Amino acid sequence: MSDWANQLTDATSPKEKCQILQTMLSQMKPESVEEYTTLQSATKGAYGPEIKAYGQKCLQFADKKFPNMEAAAQKVAKAKLDELIKSKADMPENKNCPYCLQIIPYGAIKCHHCGSEMQVTEVRTIENTYPVSAVEIMRQANHKGSSDIHLQVGYHPIFRIHGHMTHQLQWPKLKPSDTLSMAYQMLDEDSKRIFEAEKETDMAFDIPGTCRLRVNAAEERLGCTVVARILPSSILSMDDLKFRAKDVFERMCLEVNGLILVTGPTGSGKTTTLAAMLDYINSQRNEHMITIEDPIEFVHSPKKSKIMQRELRTNTLTFYNALRSALRQDPDIILVGELRDQETTALALEAAETGHLVFGTLHTNSAAKTIDRMINMFSSEDQAKVRVNLSENLKGIVAQQLIKKIGGGRVVVQEIMLRNTAIAALIRDGKTYQINEYIQTAKNMGMQTMDEAIRLSLEQGEISPENAYRYALNKADFTYTKELEAFEKN
């Protein structure tokens, strides 16, 4: 820890901390990377939330005075990380922290008891103990049209096929050593280190010529568990996805600036929808696109646009850092995989306000709830300003769900909200509870509510009345059948 950092830690009042930041800023030189890092920590609340705003102002001043300082700080941080992860040694299960002597995982980069930083060593080599390899299981799942694969101790491998969990009884039940070896067959070296240290990790995994997967490995009560999502081998177009409102999506893709959100629960196809929209832009517009994802699920090949794809943990440490950096990389279009926190959301709104077209996702099931979620990320003092920002820059929200289709497969139902003066006024005045009602009256503009989309699928015979009732937001508008009542009792 630097001397400035020690002073900030020891300071007792916000005024004293601000004076320390001001003194440090006045003494900074082009080579003062450590001081710049201290400023970055201050903006993230490392020395107290009360000086975050002042730290941000100091950091902005430092960026103007020393434009190359951020790149130098990133280079130093990467060098430190490389030094941590390149040490070679055998790796047993656990070790004692040299500072507090508590038992911690051998691959831990920080002691979870005392907070001391550790040296990360080489990961363990684990041999496959199952009759078939992880790659063979994934190939079989892809061949059967599965969307997800579950590998958990005490169960046969499970494939989710058209929404149904299907146990693969031709293979034996998995033991703890089996699931761990399966995970290690798919994780790369960095992901293995993260898994050893944090007991969970995410990454993308390619099987050349077969498919690409998004993999999550985590520890649970009985051992390691692996869940993999199979991604389409190629990016599906809007025609492939059979969007009923294709013309509305194309209009959104032609926007020059603003914020467009695709929302829905996990597994509702948000990433697939965004990939189709970016692919349309890629084929129609000559732009510079930057994506920030966790992990990269669809690899975009350049057509008319220049594309840069960055992956969390592999290419950047946080969504916030990557988005902040993206604003200095001359982007026209930015995709943020998920608006997870207030800082990232604020920066995304700033990017939309300053002339960029920003795409993002949230885990909400309607347009009104999406707006409320974004506003509630901020303090009560800032919410009025956020409402104004959203009313001016939010160009559209697509909330979607995947519902089991009669005869197999799944169908996407989408609520669509587009910005106009009435929607902007409702957002600005805090009347989001009236948005759903307004959408019902604006069908001629391409808008529709979730329940209207569900009813249309029901009338066209794509989904059953039972599933229509389950996924409806206002269930009073849908019939509660005797078959559904019997099903829920069972």
Q: For the segment 58-110, what is each residue's pLDDT rounded down to a tens digit?
A: 888 888 888 888 888 888 877 765 555 444 444 556 767 766 667 777 666 66
Classify 134-231 by CATH class. Answer: alpha beta
Residue with tokens 């790149």: 71
d(CA 73, CA 60): 15
User: Where is mean pLDDT largest: 207-211, 471-475, 476-480?
Assistant: 471-475
Q: For the segment 317-372, what is each residue's pLDDT rounded down to a tens digit?
A: 888 888 989 999 999 999 998 898 898 999 999 999 999 999 999 999 999 999 99
Predicted pLDDT at 49: 80
Residues 28, 59 contacting (CB under 8 angstroms)? no
238-489: CATH superfamily: P-loop containing nucleotide triphosphate hydrolases (3.40.50.300)
Q: For the segment 181-190, what is each residue's pLDDT rounded down to a tens digit?
A: 999 999 888 7
Tokens of 204: 């993308």
Higher pLDDT, 232 or 203: 203
d(CA 68, CA 155): 54
Percent above pLDDT 90 for the chain: 51
Neighbours of 251 (CB within 10 A): 15
pLDDT higher than 50, residue 39: yes
d(CA 283, CA 292): 20
d(CA 85, CA 191): 11
Residues 437, 451 contacting (CB under 8 angstroms)? no
> Of the ranges 63-67, 105-109, 160-164, 288-292, which one carries the lowest mean pLDDT score?
105-109
Residues 370, 318 contacting (CB under 8 angstroms)? no
Confidence tier at 490 by pLDDT (50, 70, 90):
low
pLDDT higher than 90, residue 138: yes
pTM over 0.85: no
45 alpha carbon, distance to own chain's centre? 23
Show me where the domains of the chain are located: 3-85, 134-231, 238-489
- 288, β-bridge pairs: 306
Same fold, 134-231 and 238-489: no
